[in-house]
């Protein structure tokens, strides 16, 4: 390694160290409260880098769209394995709460699937940087999370993303819609591609607040 390459490596390592240190300090600011230098707003003591981190890391008005999800719910889930097939219906429960200082809502679902206990976890948030909603879903019937991105439409949120069909191992598109029938009733609809490539509704969850 010549002198120029060594210098480039050194600068890259220093930049990585500074970035990690900024993230660490920001975590202390957000979790434990701002130190004295951050509280001296009149003196402009907070470095510009920290102001940028604080801005993208603060929950804001878009996060309030997630507030109606918080609570305990009785759920009725209806599933269609393919277009035209008779549906399967199961009863369940769900509980949602704010996590990480009001930045995300985590909802834990419990029901049954094909006679076996089923648990699913969704985490919803709003990314201030990309200005879009993000949902991560994990459950006891898969080993990989499903990540979709959403926007406000009507009285709810519409998410789009992709998943891999276990039957064909092919990547498929998905769309889901979370809407509110009233303040104590939500409806979640999941649409996917059928054998002919056309979209059909594969699942519907109706939740009643408890």
Q: Indicate if the alpha-carbon torsion angle 193, 194, 199, 201 is positive or negative.
A: negative
User: Please, what are the domains in the chain?
Assistant: 3-58 (no CATH), 62-209 (2.40.128.20)
pLDDT at 187 over 50: yes
pLDDT above 90 as % of the chain: 60
Q: 103-140 pLDDT, tens per residue?
A: 999 999 999 988 899 999 999 999 999 999 999 999 99
Place of tokens 């809502």: 105
pLDDT given at position 79: 94
The C-alpha R_g of the chain, in whole angstroms, comes to 22
For the chain, the straight-line distance linking the first and the last C-alpha, in angstroms and rounded, comes to: 66
pLDDT at 205 over 90: yes
Q: 7-26 pLDDT, tens per residue?
A: 544 454 444 444 444 444 44
**Spatial contact of 79 and 202, defined as CB atoms under 8 Å apart:** yes
Confidence of residue 89 (pLDDT cuts 50, 70, 90): very high
pLDDT given at position 18: 47
Residue 6: strand, helix, or coil: helix
């Amino acid at each position: 390694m010549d002198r120029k390459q060594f210098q480039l490596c050194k600068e890259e390592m220093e930049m990585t160290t500074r970035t990690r240190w900024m993230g660490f300090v920001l975590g202390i600011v957000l979790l434990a409260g701002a130190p004295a230098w951050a509280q001296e707003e009149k003196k402009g003591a907070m470095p510009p880098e920290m102001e940028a981190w604080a801005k993208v890391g603060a929950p804001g008005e878009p996060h309030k769209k997630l507030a109606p999800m918080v609570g305990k719910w009785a759920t009725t889930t209806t599933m269609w394995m393919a277009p035209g097939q008779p549906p399967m219906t199961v009863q369940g429960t769900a509980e949602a709460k704010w996590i990480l200082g009001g930045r995300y809502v985590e909802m834990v679902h419990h029901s049954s699937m094909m006679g076996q206990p089923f648990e699913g976890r969704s985490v919803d948030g709003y990314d201030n940087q990309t200005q879009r909603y993000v949902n991560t879903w994990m459950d006891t019937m898969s080993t990989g999370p499903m990540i979709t991105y959403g926007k406000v439409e009507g009285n709810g949120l519409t998410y789009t993303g992709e998943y891999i069909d276990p039957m064909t191992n092919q990547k498929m598109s998905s769309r889901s819609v979370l809407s509110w029938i009233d303040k104590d009733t939500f409806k979640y609809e999941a649409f996917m591609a059928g054998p002919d490539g056309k979209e059909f509704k594969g699942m519907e969850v109706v939740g009643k607040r408890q």
